[in-house]
Amino acid sequence: MSKDANPKESIIKAAYADVNKFGQNGEFDKAMKAVNRILGVAPDDQTALHCKVICLIQVSKFEEAVKFIDKNKLASALIFEKAYCEYRLNKPENALKIIDDARLPSLPPNLKELRTQVLYRLERYEECFESYKEIIKNTSDDYEDERRTNLSAVAANLALDETKDIPDIPEETYEQHFNGSCILSNRQKYVEAEKKLRASEKLCRDTLEEDGASEDEIREELDVIRVQIAYCLQMQGKTKEAASIYAEVLKNKPKDPALVAVASNNSVAINRDQHVFDSKKKIRSALAESCEHKLTSRQKKAIALNNCLLALFTNSSEQVQQFCTKLANQYPDLEFQTVLIKATQLSKDKKQKEAIDLLQKYASNTKDKDQAFATKFAIIQLLLSQGDRKGAVEVFLSLGENKYKPGIVSALVTLYLGLNNKPAASELLKTAVDWYKKNNVSSADLSDMWRQAAEFHLRGGATETAASSLEELLKLKPNDMKVLAQLVIAYAQFNPKKALEVSKKLPKLETLTTASEIDALESANWVMSTKAAKKSANAKIEMSPGTPVVERKKNNRRKRKGKLPKNYNAEVPPDPERWLPKYERTGYRKKRDRRTKEIIKGSQGMSSQAAEQYDMSNRANLGKNSPATPVYQEPTPGPRQQHRKGGHKKKKGNNRF
């Protein structure tokens, strides 16, 4: 037996030596072959079984590793390895179940960190955040920076909820700066986030250059930061700069599918209904299967919704209905958006009735009051686009107590006036006033409604209703003298005693203006011209009794006689056309070009015979039978024309415009 035992032990010993050597060199395929030699002679060797599972994990054969663990009943011993394989197979629920089902009194550090990472993948961010805080507090090793980076990543996702307080996290590495910028951008502080991203970009390059990374490796890391910078620019309205960054990053063909998906989706959002073919190509990249497990549910929802909107922009009716149905089934919380997109496409296809029916069905079935309220507004929009004002009024009135909101009251009054139904508009305003009084609703936002209601009723003669509106407005603006004056006018129509009481609250006329203010207003230059103002001011100066009156001397300046032309002849009457431009005078003849053969060109439609008939240059054509042509005598030029016969030469140069 000793002879049989010695070769077996020597094989196992030599094989373990090979496993150790290949494992340290990272040659796990060769290490696996060495492990198989051990299992060939000792199939129950627990250490060899464990080594094979590790080798399978290192060569990314996770599914095979799970099957091997189950086959050899190693699940109870290799909890971490099996849970890790399920996690890498994108089955985080199974991984969490394996860890929790172990029911260990206290999880070892490796299982605790794995469980925290699984919680992050399951988007249970609050539990994940608390778990990372505990790990960082109780652990001290070389991976502290990585844990803090993960903690800031979790905080960035928690920042989407504005009600949650995010503690300050130290930012030392460029990854931590990046996550800090994500916290700011999720809180809609895009300018501050952009500044932090610029700092992260510089720190990233400096750090990687110190570590000796290649230019390609540096570019891959920087592309992630640049896409986030582009997002911040896009949210600030700088779409051209953002689009150029997205195009540059996609041109580099990054290896990270999540980065490609985000850049492509954001480019599609910028394009909207422009560059449709480019958008279709990019949305396919964002919807690729490789991105399925790399994106969060929020990102996947946004991409799927943009896919529906792109189909809407391209007027693809069948695709719109197909994509929206799929989206509603996959994400039930997006049903409202899909219904609106479907209705919009039906309206584009001139199927307004079907669109209205779809919206009405959703409004009656949904339990979300806000969404039902918004859906009815979409119905109103479709009805008004068809010119159906009565139908729009009916939908407004079906809103219940929401119809008393100031904006809706204003819209209803406008529609009633458009239908020439002033009594209904007046009744609506009265009902709204009574409803607000009954429910004791007071807000600064109602001041415009009270004012409009009061003015409407005052114009219509309903002074009592106008007074009630002015009373409510006065509660909101107690120091508004204009409202108080209007209230006095309204009371005077039906309750003079109350009008007298309220009028006592008005300031006295003497306190409003003084004599000096009246004089200043009367002498103000903005009322009249400067000369008139000075004249009126001088007229009001009161002289003291002892002041002697000085009479002003009359201005006896002689009027100069107008100059006459040198060749002026009083016997010849002036030319009546002397103020007209030359080309408008009767004697003006346009210079003709001697190079052209045509002497005269008639108006459109003139026959050649008529042209010859009225051609004055060809005297030979005028026969005895031609109609008598009146002889034109050039009028005698006036004296001013005689004087300016020579004219003045225009000086060259120094032209000013």
Could you give the C-alpha distances from 499 to 226, 437, 484, 504, in angstroms and in order? Answer: 70, 22, 10, 9
628 falls in which pLDDT band (50, 70, 90)? very low
Q: Mean pLDDT, to the nearest integer, of 140-156?
A: 90
d(C-alpha 416, C-alpha 419), whole Å: 5
3 state SS of 174: helix
Give domain status of residue 38, yes or no: yes
pLDDT digit string (tens) for 54-79? 999 999 999 999 999 999 888 888 99
For the chain, the domain total comes to: 2
pLDDT at 429: 75
Nearest CA to 282 out of 243, 321, 340 is that of 243
pLDDT at 508: 65
| Token couple for 182 | 């994500």
Q: Tell how many helices (H) and how many strands (E) occur in the chain.
A: 32, 0
Considering only 83-92, 107-116, 571-580, which range has the smallest mean pLDDT? 571-580
Considering only 78-92, 241-255, 399-413, which range has the smallest mean pLDDT? 399-413
Nearest CA to 175 out of 221, 231, 110 is that of 221
- The alpha carbons of the chain give a radius of gyration, in whole angstroms, of 46
% of residues, the chain, pLDDT over 90: 43
Domain boundary (464, 489, 507) is at 507
Give domain status of residue 34, yes or no: yes
Domain boundary (159, 184, 214) is at 159
Cβ atoms < 10 Å from Cβ of 456: 19
Q: What is the CATH number of the domain that holds 136?
A: 1.25.40.10
pLDDT at 654: 44
Question: What's 572-602 look like in SS3?
Answer: CCCCCCCCCCHHHCCCCCCCCCCCCCCCCCC
Give domain status of residue 462, yes or no: yes
* 74 close to 53: Cβ distance less than 8 angstroms: yes
Give domain status of residue 133, yes or no: yes
Query: What is the maximum span of the chain, computed from C-alpha positions, in angstroms?
Result: 162
| Token couple for 26 | 């990272």
What mean pLDDT value characterizes the chain?
80
Helices 276-286, 297-313: inter-axial angle, 10-degree rounding: 150
Domain boundary (130, 159, 188) is at 159
Residue range of the domain that includes 31: 7-159
Q: What are the residue ranges of helices labelled H in 296-421?
A: 297-313, 317-330, 335-348, 352-365, 369-385, 389-397, 406-418
Nearest CA to 327 out of 359, 345, 289, 319 is that of 319
pLDDT digit string (tens) for 355-412? 999 999 999 888 888 899 899 999 999 999 888 999 999 999 888 888 888 788 888 8
Burial 459-491 (b: 16+ CB within 10 A, else e): eeebbebbbbbbbbbbebeeebeebbebbbebb
Could you give the C-alpha distances from 16 to 26, 35, 653, in angstroms and in order? Answer: 15, 7, 105
464 falls in which pLDDT band (50, 70, 90)? low
| Token couple for 240 | 């051209």
Nearest CA to 120 out of 80, 150, 91 is that of 150
pLDDT at 489: 73
| Entry pTM | 0.67
Nearest 5°: the CA angle 595, 598, 604 is 135
- Using the predicted structure, report yes or no on whether residue 617 has a pLDDT greater than 60: no
- Using the predicted structure, report yes or no on whether residue 610 has a pLDDT greater than 70: no
Q: Mean pLDDT, to the nearest integer, of 526-544?
A: 52
621 falls in which pLDDT band (50, 70, 90)? very low
pLDDT at 76: 87
